[in-house]
Amino acid sequence: MKDAQTSPAPFKAGDWVASLDDGRPTIGIVKGCYGLDTEFGCCIDIIVYSPEGQKIGRSSPAEGGPATFEPACPTKHYRKIQQPKFPLRKDIYWNYANQLAPPA
């Protein structure tokens, strides 16, 4: 187990992230990171973008929650990326994950 007192948060506001989906990952900018970086992980709020570069805000139903960002996404399902060069080209299967570069 990581030491929650000394482990920094794995993401910070302004980081570009992508979900670990093989073909059509969720892409966005971290709005905030909270919780302790322990074996259970932190959560991030993400401002979601489409592959065309349009701000979506939230992709799941709001159901009374925020409409401008996707809240409480477990960090273990995301990775940091460089800011994408929009629009992302989609192949025949609508995949575009191969165009997302790791951070410099």
Domain ranges of the chain: 1-81
Render pLDDT for 48-82 as a digit per residue (tens, 0 to 9).
Answer: 999 899 999 888 887 888 999 999 898 888 999 99
* 8 CB-contact burial (10 Å; exposed 0-12 / middle 13-18 / buried 19+): exposed
Instruction: Write down the pTM of the prediction.
Output: 0.80
Which one-letter DSSP state was computed for residue 77? G
How far apart (Å, rounded) are the C-alpha atoms in residues 37 and 2?
7
Q: Domain 1-81's class?
A: mainly beta
